[in-house]
Amino acid sequence: MGGRVQGKVALVTGGASGLGAESARRLAREGAKVMLTDLAAEAGQGVTDEILAEGGVAAFLSQDVVDEARWAEVVAETVARFGRLDVLVNSAGVGSGGQPILEATFEGWRRIVGINLDGTFLGVRHAAPVMAAQGGGSIINLSSILGKVGLPGAAAYCASKGGVALLTKAVALELAPAGVRVNSVHPGFIETPMVINVMRESENENEMRDMIISRHAMGRLGVPREIADAIVFLASDESSFMTGSELVVDGGYTAA
């Protein structure tokens, strides 16, 4: 029996670690051919090798998601290698250093917004025409609960992820007639290198961890598999009547 995304080709940015890496693994286990991209070439190739060792089909390309010319090359190379492009997971992103807005620099703001929002725009812009030409596809944009609620010290991150959520809705309306579905995923705090590093950089790592956990009704942080499962669902035909949707996977963080 085939997997839930058997025969599909998926491009996953930020595939070297965290949610991107786990999403790539899960998509491959469910039958997709996966192209992973990241700036961390050694780690990205390592994840690719794991997938290949498990019998999956995968390849790796180095990519800076704010480089538009590279986006064109990556999409073209994915199609050349695997024959089509059915799924784009815009997972590449960076977090905020917990800097108050009155101390924030324009350079820091532009870096976070550039990678998180501009990179997502470029992914949509270059993948959607290929999907439309072949009759459809699924674009999955990684937003965050901080694209729905605010957090002190994370203005740029919140703005970028809120932008991803509304970008998703706008392009979903535009691309629906072409059969291209576009949805966003909004994770709570997940045990990833990004979240762990933010905690380590705080004045009191244990205190910050306890505070963050306390804001989740389920009393724990999420694990990457729980977000990857949501991404597999959106990549599969199981979500065929979903577009422009926000899939919140946050342990109850935004329920209060």
- The Cα–Cα gap between 72 and 208 comes to 41
Structural domain boundaries in the chain: 9-191+223-242
Res 253 pLDDT > 80? yes
Q: In 83-154, which ranges are continuous DSSP H helix?
A: 106-113, 119-134
Is 157 designated active site? yes
Contact 187, 250 (CB under 8 A): yes
Contacts of 32 (CB under 8 A, 6+ apart): 3, 5, 6, 7, 8, 9, 10, 57, 86, 87, 235
User: Phi and psi at residue 45, in whole multiples of 5°?
Assistant: -65, -35
Amino acid at 107: E
Please provide the average confidence, as pLDDT, over all residues in the chain. Answer: 95
Instruction: Tell me: pLDDT of 1 over 60.
Output: no
Write down the catalytic residue from 157, 195, 215, 232: 157
Six-digit token string for 166: 């509304």
Q: What is the spatial distance between Cα 142 and Cα 20, in angstroms, rounded to a whole number?
A: 9
Do residues 132 and 178 touch, judged by C-beta distance below 8 A? yes
Superfamily of domain 9-191+223-242 in the CATH hierarchy:
NAD(P)-binding Rossmann-like Domain (3.40.50.720)
pLDDT mean over 219-242: 97
Local confidence band at 201 (pLDDT 50, 70, 90 cut-offs): confident
Q: From its phi and psi, is residue 136 left (phi > 0), alpha (psi between -120 and 50) or beta? A: left
Closest residue by Cα to residue 166 from 244, 95, 241: 244
The string of pLDDT tens digits covering residues 98-138 is: 789 999 999 999 999 999 999 999 999 999 999 999 999 99
Span 59-74, average pLDDT: 98
pLDDT band per the 50, 70, 90 thresholds, residue 87: very high
Hey, what's the torsion of the CAs at 20, 24, 25, 29, to 10 degrees?
Answer: 150
Identify the pLDDT of residue 62.
98
Average pLDDT of span 4-11: 98
Position 193, amino acid: P
What is the 3-state secondary structure of 144-181? CHHHCCCCCCCHHHHHHHHHHHHHHHHHHHHHHHHCEE
Distance set, CA 71 to CA 29, 46, 119 (Å): 26, 22, 9
Give 204's pLDDT tier (boundaries 50, 70, 90).
confident
